[in-house]
Structure 1
Amino acid sequence: MPLRLIFMGTPEFSVPTLRALAATGHEIAAVYTQPPRPAGRRGLEMTKSPVHEAAEELGIPVRTPQSLKSTEEQEVFRTLDADAAVVVAYGLLLPRPILEGTRLGAYNGHASLLPRWRGAAPIQRAIMAGDRETGMMIMKMDEGLDTGPIALTEKVTIGSEMTAGELHDRLKEVGARLMVEAMAKLERGEMTFVPQPSEGATYARKIAKEETRVDWRRPAPEVHNHIRGLSPSPGAWCEMPFAGRKERVKLLRSTLAEGRGAPGEVLDDGLAVACGGGAVRLMELQRAGGRPMMAENFLRGAKIGKGTLLS
């Protein structure tokens, strides 16, 4: 028989899994997601999460508690009488009564090869570290931070030019398919688990604003990984001169290049920039308030030629 599930997720990354589970015939008793947040230029509009909007489209009841710590919320969760909870990038910690509030437990879709990159930003951190491989894992949740035993794994190669946005889109589809497979195994009573290794754990802390600025003193491969690991959001950036003033510009795509110079020095008229060792060529950029542009189009409106020093 199809399972009765509670789905818990918030961003666009979670939506394919919700849709896939519903399409497979499982009963989604309720969707839990983060509450609507202020949005718009003045923060006056309250915007529902992508999961919230998808759930309403599917006709599934939605709950948006600020926290799951209260006994009242935990009792509401328990009375949903679900077989299992499916969690994909929900954004709230699940206390023990929630983890134990269904018949078969809670199962998380996590975007890394655990125990590497536990935590909030595994996709960005994997690329920023220069990893050549990552993946999706389905684990049974416990009270630790992404420490539960693993049920299913699918590895994904990280291309040398792949951005975090591209990897995000690849992994969200892999994760949806893998979770459908996991719930089918759970339904048949065939789910097996492997404990995570005790060695090799790393933590993917949330991306901080102060680390998004490009440091041209770093070696070119590190600068390249920094740019693609933060693309498209929040975006690595530097300052460029425009009409005698400096302006912040997002760097969305780059490639390794030949050349040497002072860190931040533009080496030619095609936006090759010297780093602490080697150089990168900027391929896609975005001015504040503008749209992303390929370098050749960007340069039509910006006089940034050889010898310019980027701060």
Structure 2
Amino acid sequence: MRFVFCGTPSFAVPTLKAVLRAGHECLLVATQPDRRSGRGMQLVAPPVKETAMAAGLPVVQPEKIKNNLEFRAQLEALAPDVILIVAYGRIIPKWMLDLPRYGNLNLHGSLLPKYRGAAPIQWAIASGEPVTGVTTMRIDEGLDTGDMLLQREMAVAPDHTSEDVYPLLAEMGAALMVETLEGLVSGSIIPQKQEDAFATYAPILTRDDGRMDFSRPAMDIYNRWRGFQPWPGAWSTLESKKLIAQRLMPLDAGALQRRDVTPGELHVEGSRLFVACGEHTWLEIAELQMEGKRRISAAEFLRGHALKPGDRLG
């Protein structure tokens, strides 16, 4: 197929590479503009742009696309068979949906209709899902509501974080997109309507999503910590300063579970630090980072910070 590729972060790179390896012809790569990043605020190119340029592909970086007449004329002149959308970060306008004969195909990082939205991988793990996966779909004017083409599942290990799952799903999705294109050409794929009654939403993450709510059971907080890596992470406050939990572990605490404590209350045993959670459960904070300080182990933190009885997070 003759295709246009729209994508931005590293999640999209394996799909672009896989479709090129499969022999399809890339007419154009569209990605978001370079952004300033890091301490020096240097302009940084998106991973998809770097991949495309290394492959000698033409690249455009429109700030907006809905009413961009130049971008529209460019795509209409190219007349692609299909437009591939992988984590592009832009709403696709109707004129673009109507352009290619095979439509605009999206690789979505969940088993639709669950976790529609901007952060499906993070929210699936934060919700404690034992299985996730990827879906190829034909984009319509709704939010991830289009007809599904193919799906593939992947088991999520109990200690997997979003950072672990992200590259696995990216590679799985790349192979699935190649399979999807083959199936569309051969006519072997029958698009399936999504069951809207089973849909869930995975909104874009905010800083406050990382705030630990110790009224929740320990496993809920632990799953959110896994899901929200590397950002917004899991954080609270101690003595009015931000404390980031860099490594957490749910605890089968035995005698600790029988203690009469308030959620958020801290407890020290030797060099180990525990925090009380809802439903008489506990988390161990193995590594942490105080505001303005470096990441350290709980043992090192306790050597330099004398906690008082009744000290609590939040």
Mark yes or no: TM-score above 0.5: yes
The residue correspondences of 1:296-311 to structure 2 (distance < 5 A) are 308-311=311-314
Partner amino acid for 1:199?
A
In structure 2, C-alpha distance between the alignment counterparts of 1:156 and 1:239, rounded to whole Å:
36
Q: 2:161 aligned to 160, 163, 170, which one?
A: 163
**Aligned to 1:174, what secondary structure does the other structure show?**
helix
**Aligned to 2:198, what secondary structure does the other structure show?**
coil
Partner amino acid for 2:277?
C
Partner amino acid for 2:36?
P
In structure 2, C-alpha distance between the alignment counterparts of 1:74 and 1:148, rounded to whole Å:
22
CA contact (8 A) 2:118 2:203 kept: yes
In structure 1, C-alpha distance between the alignment counterparts of 2:60 and 2:308, rounded to whole Å:
54
1:308 Cα deviation from its structure 2 partner: 4.2
In structure 2, C-alpha distance between the alignment counterparts of 1:157 and 1:100, rounded to whole Å:
36
- Gap runs ≥5 in structure 1: none
CA contact (8 A) 2:206 2:232 kept: no
CA contact (8 A) 1:30 1:62 kept: yes
In structure 1, C-alpha distance between the alignment counterparts of 2:290 and 2:237, rounded to whole Å:
10
Match of 1:279 in 2: 282
Percent of matched pairs sharing the same residue: 39
Partner amino acid for 2:156?
I
CA contact (8 A) 1:271 1:305 kept: no
Partner amino acid for 2:274?
A
CA contact (8 A) 2:209 2:232 kept: no
1:266 Cα deviation from its structure 2 partner: 2.3
Match of 1:9 in 2: 7
Q: 2:73 aligned to 72, 75, 96, which one?
A: 75
In structure 2, C-alpha distance between the alignment counterparts of 1:279 and 1:75, rounded to whole Å:
59
In structure 2, C-alpha distance between the alignment counterparts of 1:202 and 1:61, rounded to whole Å:
37
Matched length: 304
Deviations 1:7-27 (A, max 9, x none): 111111111111111222221
In structure 2, C-alpha distance between the alignment counterparts of 1:297 and 1:56, rounded to whole Å:
46
Partner amino acid for 2:312?
L
1:127 Cα deviation from its structure 2 partner: 1.9
Partner amino acid for 1:10?
T
1:295 Cα deviation from its structure 2 partner: 4.6
Partner amino acid for 2:177?
M
**Aligned to 1:227, what secondary structure does the other structure show?**
helix
TM-score using structure 1 length = 0.89
Match of 2:266 in 1: 266
In structure 2, C-alpha distance between the alignment counterparts of 1:151 and 1:305, rounded to whole Å:
58
Deviations 1:14-72 (A, max 9, x none): 111111112222211111111111223363x2221111111111111111112222233
CA contact (8 A) 2:245 2:285 kept: yes
Partner amino acid for 1:267?
H
Match of 1:57 in 2: 54
1:296 Cα deviation from its structure 2 partner: 5.0
In structure 2, C-alpha distance between the alignment counterparts of 1:238 and 1:199, rounded to whole Å:
35
Partner amino acid for 1:266?
L
The residue correspondences of 1:126-165 to structure 2 (distance < 5 A) are 126-165=124-163
In structure 1, C-alpha distance between the alignment counterparts of 2:2 and 2:65, rounded to whole Å:
20
In structure 2, C-alpha distance between the alignment counterparts of 1:305 and 1:26, rounded to whole Å:
65
1:305 Cα deviation from its structure 2 partner: 8.6
Alpha carbon RMSD of aligned pairs, Å? Answer: 2.2
